[in-house]
């Protein structure tokens, strides 16, 4: 089409992407190896769409590897754009230019809106738009709280409320999340971690349902087409998705809840050479991707067909600018980086020390105040939990925490590993002068079994994914509690709930930052599917009707979260110091009796006493953990100080309300605390500081969890009877690495 009536200027190379200027709109894009570039504009004029193609063939349209042009007399809201590029097409040498494809600008902040499931036309026509940021934040800023009180809640932006059982007016949308803020606040989480929200094509899944033949969706969204443009299909009104997302962030901030984004910088949604080219491959395949120098094939460290060349300066700049955009324009509080070990590979895929991208993210002055969380592994075996980076700015998903707790409550593992994880994983973080808060502790996440399925299935059941059950991890460290799946006898059901409570109790009382997967608090199940990436249906959605069925479980989660929030003893910024001679240790380990430790591989019991100061005195907690799957075990508690009484707070083998007692009774026989198989019992005691009047006030956990009432002093006593099966002999052994006591 003619461009005679459009004022065309040379433009400027920086910043990359579209920018509104007084003279018009500046467009700028990188390509080192292209031989010809066209800007393709579709302009709406009086109801008609006029296409204009502007060749950037003049010397003034190229500065180095940047192609640029300024177009005057354009209204941003009336146009969409893209680029065509020509050059060599020789995949064996890594070149993949195709002038027929209309490419997405990597720096574009908005793509043409479409509803969830609507056919995407990326690569076929212009899809980029010039975003306008005119939202009234009303004083909102990223929250930036201290990490000690942080509790992360991972959720899928659509699956969280897509089910009709959610009861929201805008299911499956950013608005739906807003409607659930009171629930999140009541539960006690302080941060939501949103699975990918940058644009992807949910229709690019190649699999079909094996029974119905219906095409499956790429539900999770770990196949990004852009690192800037938001997923408009998650908005109630897709054409207003930017403002809907910002309003969600603002409302979460008003509730004191941070917003983290799961960012996928390790690969793109273009797949291999047989995939659809939408952006990076057509812009400069040899720069953006890791390629085999022998044959031009993609190095696949992501498991998704390609791997982005993260340590190339062009890619580093793209990552930095995307993060800055979400911090400044979207008020995001933190980021989780998918398969972040890819960041540690060079252009040949080799692992390098001190990777430039890792340092750039940590040291960026704009991003520096944000939480940074690495998934410190990749798809080809590089596992860096504990040594992803020595920079204290970086936290890590602690896969070793997950695995050690799963093993222990499935009949394996060791008390030494368990103790190390409870104390903050000093074996992973202390040598680099980091602390417990660098460890993101979790039992489950989007990837793998839900918590209910972890105690209900021995094997994955992924047939509905359309790959004959070949996909998904076979090593789940799970145990079905006696019967595979549901329905099951009442006794099996009770055992499953007990194991869930035991693991959650330890997760929420461990040193480090806990992360929960949405729906685990009310027994969400995926029917044994441990890879529900393509299940945009009842398998992948939260079933909120379970909230009524498993209210007891949700109550337990909520009370444990409140306990953690109240007492800093469970969220130290540093590791427990080694005990000084003659001084009282802040943490003490035992087996069944005080002063006797047993770190043998076959030992299934562990006791730990925590001591900490409060504003009203000292607080003591004792956790008795029984990993034996058959036998009760009887613990003797440490001798309380004068004026102290141990009170029974938690017993994960008991049904509500005795699983977490809001009015904890005094124990008459602390020398005989019986703990059921695969259970945890938590006791507490306090000493009060003398006041000027001689009165003493007791700092009680119940005061933290009873919102409307104070726990009243009670002389009620409860005797926990020892089991007749108690027969274990203690043997002394070395302390576990990281136990620090």
Q: Which residues are catalytic?
A: 338, 375
Residue 132 near residue 25 (C-beta atoms within 8 A): no
Instruction: Write out the H or E segment, with its range, that includes residue 559.
Output: helix 551-566
Residue 617 near residue 698 (C-beta atoms within 8 A): yes
Residue 503 near residue 418 (C-beta atoms within 8 A): no
Residue 511 near residue 398 (C-beta atoms within 8 A): no
Bridge partners of 149?
none
Instruction: Write out the H or E segment, with its range, that includes residue 38.
Output: strand 36-45
CB burial string 54-88: b at 16+ within 10 A, e below? bebeeeebbeeebbbbbbeebeeeebbbbbbbebe
> What's the token pair of residue 663?
């009015």
Taken as a whole, the chain contains a residue count of: 741
How far, in Å, CA of 621 to CA of 608, rounded?
8
How far, in Å, CA of 741 to CA of 733, rounded?
13
The strand pair at 79-86 and 36-45 is best described as antiparallel
Q: Which of 108, 17, 111 is nearest to 69 (CA)?
A: 17
Residue 129 near residue 79 (C-beta atoms within 8 A): yes
How far, in Å, CA of 651 to CA of 625, rounded?
10
- Coil, strand, or helix at residue 110? strand
How far, in Å, CA of 411 to CA of 400, rounded?
17
Cβ neighbours, 10 Å, residue 693? 6
How far, in Å, CA of 3 to CA of 484, rounded?
67
The contacts of residue 209 (CB under 8 Å, 6+ apart) are 215, 216, 464, 466
Q: Which of 336, 274, 331, 286 is nearest to 312 (CA)?
A: 286
Q: Which residue is listed with tokens 């969220």?
A: 571
The contacts of residue 708 (CB under 8 Å, 6+ apart) are none
How far, in Å, CA of 489 to CA of 474, rounded?
26
How far, in Å, CA of 640 to CA of 622, rounded?
11
Q: Which of 319, 286, 383, 313 is nearest to 106 (CA)?
A: 319
What's the per-residue H, E or C state across 144-155? CCCHHHCCEEEE
> What's the token pair of residue 71?
């177009």
Q: Which residue is listed with tokens 């009442």?
A: 490
Compute CA distances 136 → 132, 133, 604, 666, whole Å.
12, 9, 57, 54
Q: Which residue is listed with tokens 């969890």?
A: 705
Q: Which of 199, 274, 288 is nearest to 242 (CA)?
A: 199
Query: How many helices, marked H, and strands, marked E, lie in the chain?
Result: 14, 29
How far, in Å, CA of 88 to CA of 86, rounded?
7
- Coil, strand, or helix at residue 47? coil
- Coil, strand, or helix at residue 302? coil
The contacts of residue 293 (CB under 8 Å, 6+ apart) are 348
Q: Which residue is listed with tokens 């124990």?
A: 667
Instruction: Write out the H or E segment, with its range, that includes residue 119.
Output: none
């Amino acid at each position: 089409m003619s461009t005679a009536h459009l004022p065309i200027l040379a433009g400027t190379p920086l910043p990359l992407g579209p920018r509104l200027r007084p003279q018009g709109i500046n467009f700028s894009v990188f390509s080192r190896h292209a031989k010809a570039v066209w800007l393709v504009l579709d302009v709406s004029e009086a109801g008609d769409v006029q296409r204009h193609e502007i060749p950037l063939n003049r010397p003034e349209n190229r500065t180095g590897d940047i192609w640029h042009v300024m177009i005057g007399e354009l209204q941003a809201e009336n146009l969409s754009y893209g680029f065509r590029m020509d050059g060599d097409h020789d995949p064996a040498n890594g070149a993949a230019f195709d002038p027929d494809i209309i490419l997405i600008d990597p720096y574009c902040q908005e793509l043409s809106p479409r509803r969830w499931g609507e056919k995407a036309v990326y690569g076929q026509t212009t899809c980029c738009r010039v975003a306008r940021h005119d939202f009234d934040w009303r004083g909102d800023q990223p929250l930036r709280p201290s990490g000690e009180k942080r509790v992360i809640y991972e959720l899928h932006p659509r699956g969280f409320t897509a089910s009709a059982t959610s009861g929201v007016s805008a299911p499956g949308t950013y608005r739906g999340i807003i409607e659930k803020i009171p629930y999140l606040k009541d539960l006690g989480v302080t941060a939501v971690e949103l699975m990918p929200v940058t644009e992807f094509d949910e229709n690019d899944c190649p699999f079909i349902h094996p029974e119905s033949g219906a095409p499956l969706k790429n539900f999770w969204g770990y196949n990004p087409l852009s690192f800037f443009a938001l997923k408009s299909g998650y908005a109630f009104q897709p054409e207003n998705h930017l403002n809907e997302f910002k309003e969600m962030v603002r409302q979460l901030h008003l509730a004191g809840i941070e917003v983290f984004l799961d960012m996928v910088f390790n690969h793109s949604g273009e797949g291999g050479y047989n995939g659809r080219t939408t952006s990076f491959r057509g812009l400069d395949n040899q720069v953006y991707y890791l390629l085999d120098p022998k044959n031009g094939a993609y190095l696949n460290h992501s498991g998704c067909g390609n791997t982005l060349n993260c340590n190339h300066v062009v890619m580093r700049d793209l990552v930095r600018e995307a993060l800055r955009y979400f911090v400044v324009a979207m008020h995001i509080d933190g980021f989780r980086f998918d398969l972040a070990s890819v960041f540690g590979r060079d252009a040949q895929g080799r692992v390098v020390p001190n990777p430039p991208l890792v340092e750039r993210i940590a040291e960026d002055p704009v991003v520096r105040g944000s939480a940074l969380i690495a998934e410190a592994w990749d798809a080809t075996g590089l596992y860096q939990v504990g040594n992803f980076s020595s920079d204290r700015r970086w936290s890590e998903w602690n896969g070793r925490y997950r695995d050690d707790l799963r093993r222990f409550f499935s009949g394996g593992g060791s008390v030494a590993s368990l103790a190390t994880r409870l104390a903050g994983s000093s074996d992973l973080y202390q040598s680099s002068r980091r602390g417990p808060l660098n460890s993101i502790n979790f039992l489950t996440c989007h990837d793998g079994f839900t918590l209910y399925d972890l105690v209900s299935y021995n094997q994955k059941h992924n047939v509905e994914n359309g790959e004959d059950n070949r996909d998904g991890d076979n090593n789940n460290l799970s145990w079905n509690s006696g019967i595979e799946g549901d329905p099951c006898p009442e006794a099996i059901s009770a055992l499953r709930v007990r194991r869930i409570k035991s693991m959650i109790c330890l997760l929420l009382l461990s040193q480090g930052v806990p992360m929960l997967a949405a729906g685990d608090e009310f027994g969400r199940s995926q029917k044994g599917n441990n890879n529900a990436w393509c299940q945009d249906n009842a398998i992948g959605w939260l079933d909120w009707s379970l909230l009524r069925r498993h209210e007891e479980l949700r109550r337990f989660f909520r009370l444990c979260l409140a306990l953690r929030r109240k007492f800093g003893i469970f969220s130290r910024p540093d590791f427990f110091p080694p005990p000084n001679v003659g001084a009282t240790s802040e943490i003490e380990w035992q087996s069944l009796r005080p002063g006797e430790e047993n770190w043998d591989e076959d030992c299934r019991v562990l006791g730990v006493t925590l001591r900490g100061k409060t504003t009203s005195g000292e607080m003591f907690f004792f956790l008795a953990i029984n990993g034996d799957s058959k036998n009760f075990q009887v613990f003797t508690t440490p001798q309380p100080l004068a004026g102290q009484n141990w009170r029974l707070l938690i017993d994960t083998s008991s049904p509500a309300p005795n699983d977490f007692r809001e009015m904890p009774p005094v124990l008459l026989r602390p020398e005989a605390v019986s703990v059921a198989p695969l259970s945890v019992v938590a006791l507490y005691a306090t000493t009060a500081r003398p006041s000027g009047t001689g009165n003493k006030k007791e700092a009680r956990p119940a005061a933290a969890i009873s919102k409307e009432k104070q726990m009243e002093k009670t002389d009620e006593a409860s005797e926990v009877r020892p089991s007749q099966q108690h027969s274990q002999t203690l043997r002394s052994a070395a302390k576990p690495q990281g136990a620090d006591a």
